[in-house]
Structure 1
């Protein structure tokens, strides 16, 4: 009996070691995969992957841009860049401020319809605007989304000719992968989201799923609140996370704007930037500045190419006005880090891919630069 008992013990120990080895191997694979993904997302974007032809632009078109919130850098800059791109074709763009809430988006969209434009672009969640969008469609007004749905591309269900954005699933994974790689598979992560936007939920769910796939990592909290309440919510939430979970801690957000209001709470608590690392998305100017300083908590952002996407919006409107299909173009995400913060437009605190997108669009429109 002793022999068999000893053998059984040895076998059990052996299986335990094998299981532990498999777990360690899986953890190593997760970290290696994350580090490889980070290197890819942070690499230069020199190749033009967009359209190489376009219909002849229609003259005299008018567009209204419904900005989700003019207090948000990204939302405001879309309007500025769309005006500049439209001017190349002799078009006019009018901007309406949606002031950060679904009720204001509805009233703003109705104002846009009243102007009788040829097209309306929205940086607001299309699902919350279905009544007004259907009214616009019935009046032959083309509606294009910028971050307006869960995924890029045409969306007949939401009555969008096309929705322009990077793939939020990739953005969410890029945020998680950076935390996994930086922590060597031991990241404890808070995830901030604003699920009044479909894109935000898709992005934050991808972050959560990727962190949960890392055996040594942990999702500490999944915090969902309206984006317009960030200034009021973030200080108290940040203090609460520090009290409940301690440090080290990684805090990810679907937008850099949230992080503006987390940093004062971290400073007041005397937390070292090495112990609380903030990971954002969109590529706000404040995010670039924090990453460049290197001691201001934010370590990375997944940046959107705002000017490129504004030019794409004008190009997609032209296709719609000519009864042509959307271009199918989706620009890959770009991870801004301390190592590459001054490249790909970073010296101007914006993501400007090195793929000559402006010249490509002007060329296919038949416009002299």
Structure 2
């Protein structure tokens, strides 16, 4: 992980607004915590909005955020293409307020034809392939797979499509069902879906692939109470605290293709920092990391977050100090 040295400027006394799509989502929580850490290191103020996937709250939050005249806007979750925020975000762009996002599009980097200058994420194709690659049929048997996704969100849809495509190339894999369940409705919709799937497929259901750990958060009660074998549950993101706990204790989730949520929060702040100094985006893209029951205990920090073995906090702060000191 390397950084280019930038021209000297004074980025002190800045205010960043964070619009979080839904803080019930463990991935979003981790990113917001990372943003707060990084802003504290820079002595920046942070204003957080949790919109709970509500279009009304999204509008209200962006209107209020613009009135604060922030130095940067960070969108955490959601989908810049499908959530119809373009007209609101144009107002930030017109006032030269930089906008960056996390998981607001399927792929990392710039988001064409939108005011979002950087989308921080791992490559959704690589994440999906890593998750699907963990589906290994037992000898002489066929893996029956249920895929959980949220078709409203482009990155979720892309992950699901890529996983299904990968499974189609597996001779002894069968996609039993693709379940479209909105992430903000998993608490109410996942339990009846699990009962329905168990009744329909029984022992044929051997594996689950989900675009987010949140689906398995709300599947456990039904899995515990069932007499059927528990499917091998695999998530194509994001390595939430609850998922890591399940894997650590080898209970109801086998794997998650985790993202360094805290580190992504720091990167989002750094991308704002770079913009304020007239510097280009970092271009940094983290590679997917497969966490399983076998290695979960070794990659979790004291607060329960997945933590890559990289001194990113130190590196970011050193570069920020170098920029300020000239």
Matched, 1:186 2:142: yes
Instruction: Find the partner of 1:262 among 219, 223, 226.
Output: 219
Unmatched 5+ stretches in structure 2: none
Q: Give the C-alpha shift of residue 158 in structure 1.
A: 2.0
Unmatched 5+ stretches in structure 1: 1-47
Matched, 1:345 2:297: no
Matches within 5 A, 1:149-168: 149-168=105-124
Aligned residue in 2 for 1:252: 209
Matched, 1:235 2:191: yes
Q: Is the 8 A contact 1:143 1:161 kept in 2?
A: yes
TM-score by length of 2: 0.91
Aligned residue in 1 for 2:94: 138
Matches within 5 A, 1:265-344: 265-273=222-230, 276-280=231-235, 281-294=237-250, 296-344=251-299
Give the secondary structure class of the aligned counterpart of 1:100.
coil
Q: Distance in 1 between matches of 2:20 and 2:69?
A: 17
Segment drifting more, 93-102 vs 75-84: 75-84
Aligned residue in 2 for 1:9: none
Q: Distance in 2 between matches of 1:366 and 1:131?
A: 36
Matches within 5 A, 1:1-369: 48=1, 50-56=2-8, 58-123=11-76, 124-127=78-81, 128=83, 129-180=85-136, 186-247=142-203, 248-273=205-230, 276-280=231-235, 281-294=237-250, 296-345=251-300, 348-366=303-321
Q: Distance in 2 between matches of 1:119 and 1:246?
A: 51
TM-score by length of 1: 0.81
Q: Deviations over 1:70-114 (max 9, x none)?
A: 222222232222122112222111101111234432332222112
Give the secondary structure class of the aligned counterpart of 2:309.
coil
Residues matched between the structures, number: 317
Would you identify which runs of 4 or more consecutive aligned residues in structure 1 move more than 6 Å?
Answer: 181-185
Q: Is the 8 A contact 2:109 2:120 kept in 1?
A: yes
Distance 1:80 1:305, change over 3 A: same
Segment drifting more, 115-124 vs 339-348: 339-348
Q: Deviations over 1:248-291 (max 9, x none)?
A: 42111111111111111122222233xx1111221111111111
Larger CA Rg, structure 1 vs 2: 1
